[in-house]
Chains A and B, each alone.
Chain A
Amino acid sequence: MSGGMLYGGDEIGALVFDPGHHSLRVGYAQEDTPKAEIPAVVGVAPDEAIKLEAESKPDDSNVSSQSQHKYYIDTTFLHTPRVNMELHSYMKDGMIENWDMFEKILDYSYDKIIQSESHYHPVLFSESPWNQRQKRERLTELMFEKYKVPAFFLVKNAVLAAFATGRATALVIDSGATHTSAVPVLDGYVISNAVVKSPLGGDYLILRAREMLEQMGIDLTPAALIASKDVVRDKDKPRFVKKKLSFQPSNSWMTYMVKKTVQDFQQSVLQVSESQYDERVVSNIPSVHYEFPTGYHQDFGTERFKLAEGLFDHAMLGAGYIAATSAGMCDVDIRPALYSSVVLTGGNSLVQGFSDRLSRDLSVRTPSSARLKMIAANGSVERRFGSWVGGSILAAIGTFQQMWMSMQEYQESGKSQIDRKCP
């Protein structure tokens, strides 16, 4: 403790969970990156199937009714085709929807990633700014009742993202998988009436990219199904051999894998043009070469920009628009403070040129007297795990240790207390 006062940190072995549509981030507080990023989908297969990976089966002895199902969690197990394995997402609209599956994920996290018992570690969870009261209570109940955590806390992920950049007041633009949201944060509190979100996120981009690639007649067979491939010339028909499977992989698995394939394409090829999409300007920018898992490869020129433009060209849903709208809904007194720290976070904001375009769009819409400053972490880890990093910082701060909702408090006043403790 002697050195602790210097930087205000006091680590108490807390865990930070940051659930999202793309993945769940898990790790110890005070570390700079999460221990693991677990995809937010769970593979479910009937248990009568041949046991391929014994260790993948989480210990579900305490939930007897689930015993006829096998659950597959984490990238390695998900990316293997399995008989009758259907993939489900447990998230919906930024909130946890399927609690059984979420429990499986939590079991897996404690078991395989944290590798420690849950009753030793206080837990800090992030949540979306529009999380419902009943869901928050349910999560509280789950953590205290099932996992017996000594203390629990819930923070809005936008607040955490602002904390990650060292700010308590910020306009957080979070562009994630399923949506992009603009959340004003004042002194660590979300102004919930001024939250604006649009459904244009990473998944939307992937969808558009997939449509385009399919129109172009490009085979999107995922790498997991390809046994071998030959080198072919540019734009030549790919020559590859598919893996011999005795069964037909489920549709949901195929969709997920194709999505992963397109996601890789999206991440390495797409770019947002600096200003409004203009074919002539964009055609001068060098094209990018990309090779698909099948071995097919070609250059992508204007398509890169055309696709990415989808995030911005919409009149009402573009990132710049929602940011300006959100700030405009706040009290006039705090608007300058919000404009002067616009925090950009979320994995989708890593699309090339995203931040430049956003600051450009936003500067058009901000009052000329306001100083606009955009804060976007440079590293992809910091950007993707912005909320987690903020949580990691918060949970390891000495003055925060009085905020936890402890087991004692839970036992005294029940789960409804969470709304008051974690506003």
Chain B
Amino acid sequence: MADVRDIMELDRPGTPEITRETILGTDKPKKKFTPGTKISKRPEGMHREVFALLYNDNKDVPPLFPSDTGGNGYKQTKIKLGMRRPRKWEWMAFTNPARSDNATFYHWRRPSDDAKEYPFAKFNKKVDVPTYTDVEYQQHLTSDTWTKEETDHLMDLAQQFDLRFIIIADRYDTQKFSKRSVEDLKERYYKINGILAKLNGEKKIYTYDADHERRRKEQLKKLYDRTPEQIEEEQFLISELKKIEARKKERERKTQDLQKLISQADIQNDTPRKTDKKIPKKKLSNPRPSRVDTSYILQAVETAGIKFPDYKNSGVSLRSQRMKLPANIGQKKSKAIEQSLQEMGLELNPTATEDICQHFNELRSDMVLLMEIKSALETCEYDLQSLRHQYEALAPGKTLIIPAQLTNSEQENKINTGEIIDVVGSPGTPLNT
């Protein structure tokens, strides 16, 4: 323990370790752990093992010349292993109660163990094989296929081999009786067992389903007897099945996607935004983009805006419902929309005519788009700047001149957004603002 602490470079515990005594409170207060000795610190860089050699426990300086410690001097005291004389072993006779013949054998034993029974006798366990009388057999156990003689033989073997039916079948007297399968033997044995148990008034009676066993063995045999070609074929078929299932799933998934797209297209037909169709759903869950890759930003921009839910199929509804912001628009965005609407001097809830409804929705959608484009631009710019710094750090002395059209300016920003909006905006609807 101390060594482990040493290795772990832990200090010795101030308190003694918890033992049974301390828990029970029976222990006398232990002596404090060597309070007198100062634990000198191991110098930095010195190996633990070397340090351990330097000092002994009490940090005493070793004696310069041999000193007699009295008593035995350097001679070690003999260990006193018990003061009693060693107990004797004797080669003596024993009888084994597990034997029926009282045969005596000899083995080494302590005379003190004499009274004890042979210790291995208790392992002598025998299976209880039921017995029957002639009368019982005549009354209850007769069978068309089994003679009494053969039944006796079976019961005898069952006793001898402790119901190991496979061995019983193996040692079955095939000269006297016809060969029987393991299932036949088991069936007969358990039937007799069951009948006798019933006669004795036992509640629990086991039955043996020989036919089931036969079928099971037959199948097992077939399983084992497959040729390598058959096994290969089976493997092949299994893998084919898996492939087919995978394809089926893929197809189902695709149809689902298609259905989604179609329903989306229906929405888009109502609202003029159709751009979403261009980007399949899959791409939305884009893999993590690399830092320089800005396509994800563009994509985010392209799909941005507000998707207003389609109320076409939901029966009668208020038109003003269509102007309600969908739930997926965050608090931040809705606040920002509100703010810019106020800046423009528009009502937050205009009268919901058909035209107003449509345009109001589009306006707000574009607002969100603008916001997203702005933040995307910022991200791009930040990337650009950090790349420039990286470049300069890697190639000192050089400066990366960023072309003017890439650096951000308010003017360009406007153009950019305009362009993007143009791209995004679907034909047929007037450009907003």
Task: Determine which of A193, A332, A402 lies in contact with B224 in the assembled complex, contact meaning CB atoms within 8 Å.
Answer: A332
CB distance from B221 to the nearest CB of A (A): 5
A187 at the interface (CB under 8 A from B): yes
B310 at the interface (CB under 8 A from A): no
Task: Determine which of B164, B217, B220, B223 lies in contact with A189 in the assembled complex, contact meaning CB atoms within 8 Å.
Answer: B164
The answer to whether residues A186 and B167 also contact, given A13-B106, A367-B226, A369-B224 and a CB cut-off of 8 A, is yes
- Residues of chain A within 8 A of B109, CB atoms compared: 1
Q: Are A423 and B120 in contact (CB under 8 A)?
A: no
Among A2, A192, A330, chain B packs the most CB atoms within 10 A around the CB of A2
Task: Determine which of A151, A187, A330, A335 lies in contact with B105 in the assembled complex, contact meaning CB atoms within 8 Å.
Answer: A151
Q: Are B170 and A193 in contact (CB under 8 A)?
A: yes
In whole angstroms, what is the CA distance A370 to B99 when docked? Answer: 41
Q: Are B105 and A12 in contact (CB under 8 A)?
A: yes
A368 at the interface (CB under 8 A from B): yes
Q: Are A335 and B224 in contact (CB under 8 A)?
A: yes
In whole angstroms, what is the CA distance A78 to B99 when docked? Answer: 44
Give chain B interface residues in 208-233, CB to chain A under 8 Å.
217, 220-221, 223-226, 228, 231
The answer to whether residues A402 and B217 also contact, given A331-B166, A367-B226, A368-B231 and a CB cut-off of 8 A, is no
Q: Are B106 and A1 in contact (CB under 8 A)?
A: no
Task: Determine which of B164, B220, B228 lies in contact with A332 in the assembled complex, contact meaning CB atoms within 8 Å.
Answer: B220
Q: Are A2 and B113 in contact (CB under 8 A)?
A: yes
Q: Are A150 and B107 in contact (CB under 8 A)?
A: no
In whole angstroms, what is the CA distance A333 to B169 when docked? Answer: 14
Q: Are B96 and A401 in contact (CB under 8 A)?
A: yes
A407 at the interface (CB under 8 A from B): yes
Tally chain A residues at the interface, Cβ within 8 Å. 42
In whole angstroms, what is the CA distance A369 to B223 when docked? Answer: 9
Give B123's nearest chain A residue, CB to CB.
A399
A4 at the interface (CB under 8 A from B): yes
Q: Mark A324-362, 1 if CB is under 8 A from B, else 0.
A: 000000111111000000000000000000000000000
Q: Mark A124-163, 1 if CB is under 8 A from B, else 0.
A: 0000000000000000000000000011000000000000
B51 at the interface (CB under 8 A from A): no
B110 at the interface (CB under 8 A from A): yes
Q: Are A191 and B101 in contact (CB under 8 A)?
A: no
Q: Are B121 and A402 in contact (CB under 8 A)?
A: yes
Q: Are B171 and A423 in contact (CB under 8 A)?
A: yes
Q: Are B119 and A398 in contact (CB under 8 A)?
A: yes
Task: Determine which of B161, B182, B220, B221 lies in contact with A423 in the assembled complex, contact meaning CB atoms within 8 Å.
Answer: B161
User: Which residues from chain B sit less than 8 Å from chain A, CB to CB?
Assistant: 96, 98-99, 101-110, 113, 116, 118-121, 123-124, 160-161, 164, 166-167, 169-171, 182, 217, 220-221, 223-226, 228, 231
Could you list 13 examples of A-B contacts with CB < 8 Å? A1-B110, A11-B108, A12-B106, A120-B106, A186-B164, A186-B166, A189-B161, A332-B220, A332-B221, A402-B124, A406-B103, A408-B103, A420-B160
